[in-house]
Amino acid sequence: MTNPYGQQQQQPYGQQPQQFGQPPQFGQPQQPYGTPSGGMPAAPYGQPVQPGQPGQPQYPQYGQQAPFGQPYGQPGAVGQDIPDYKGWAIGCIFLFWILAIFAIMKSNEVNTYKMQGNLAAAQDASRQTRTLCLIATIIGAISWAIAVIMIIVAIVAANEAVDTLNSYNY
């Protein structure tokens, strides 16, 4: 039997190739899927694999140290010490939202590069995120300070205008 790509399909040992439109042969065991890809499993299906059998992976018991490096996601793992400054970038929305949007996008790039294993690009994106957040913080702090000073000046000017009007009324 051939598949649409012209390759010959393997039939399990002892079975005849089955043509389309023919009923299955009764009395013979049917194995519709053939052998599993990747070779035969170490243990038959339905039986639990016992640790310690030859050819089986050995896992450390609960509470024991892993035999190789730090597991992924643990403190000290490679690439986990690159900060993404996501909290700072989100907080910058209230300071200078235009730069904050770009800082959030760069922060997302840091995580993407870390997951891909590209630590140099993650470090570069982290540095750019920090720079954008710093600029947004400085501009936002100056803007808020100017806004507060302008509000105070407006209140004082309004009070003086009221006092001036009150003095003419007497």
pLDDT digits (tens, 9 = 90+) for 97-138: 899 999 999 999 998 999 888 899 999 999 999 999 999 999
Is position 155 within any domain?
yes
Is position 101 within any domain?
yes
> Is the dihedral angle over the CA atoms 47, 51, 56, 58 positive or is it negative?
positive
Structure tokens at 67: 């035999």
Question: Is residue 74 scored above 60 in pLDDT?
Answer: no
* Among 126, 97, 89, residue whose Cα is nearest residue 109: 126
Q: CA-to-CA distance for 8 and 2, rounded, in angstroms?
A: 5
> Residue 167's pLDDT band (boundaries 50, 70, 90)?
confident
Q: Fill in the amino acid letter for 96.
A: F
Is position 78 within any domain?
no
> Residue 71's pLDDT band (boundaries 50, 70, 90)?
low
Q: CA-to-CA distance for 40 and 4, rounded, in angstroms?
A: 26
Structure tokens at 9: 């399909």
> Residue 169's pLDDT band (boundaries 50, 70, 90)?
low
- What is the predicted pLDDT for the residue at 44? 55
> Residue 146's pLDDT band (boundaries 50, 70, 90)?
very high
Is position 148 within any domain?
yes
Is position 47 within any domain?
no
- What is the predicted pLDDT for the residue at 165? 77
Tell me which range, 25-39, 56-70, 137-151, is most confidently predicted by mean pLDDT. Answer: 137-151
Q: Fill in the amino acid letter for 17.
A: P
Is position 28 within any domain?
no
- What is the predicted pLDDT for the residue at 50? 60
Sort 124 into a burial class: Cβ within 10 Å, 0-12 / 13-18 / 19+.
middle
Give Cβ neighbours of residue 95 (< 8 Å, ≥ 6 apart).
136, 137, 139, 140, 141, 143, 144
- What is the predicted pLDDT for the residue at 163? 80
Is position 33 within any domain?
no
> Total domain count for the chain?
1
- Cα 105-147-104 angle, rounded to 5 deg: 5
Q: CA-to-CA distance for 66 and 51, rounded, in angstroms?
A: 16
Average pLDDT of the chain to the nearest whole number: 75
- What is the predicted pLDDT for the residue at 162? 85
Q: CB atoms < 10 A from the CB of 28, how many? A: 10
Domain assignment of residue 160, given as a range: 86-165
Average pLDDT over residues 2-6: 61
- What is the predicted pLDDT for the residue at 81? 85
- What is the predicted pLDDT for the residue at 150? 97
Is position 68 within any domain?
no
Would you say how long the chain is, in residues?
Answer: 170
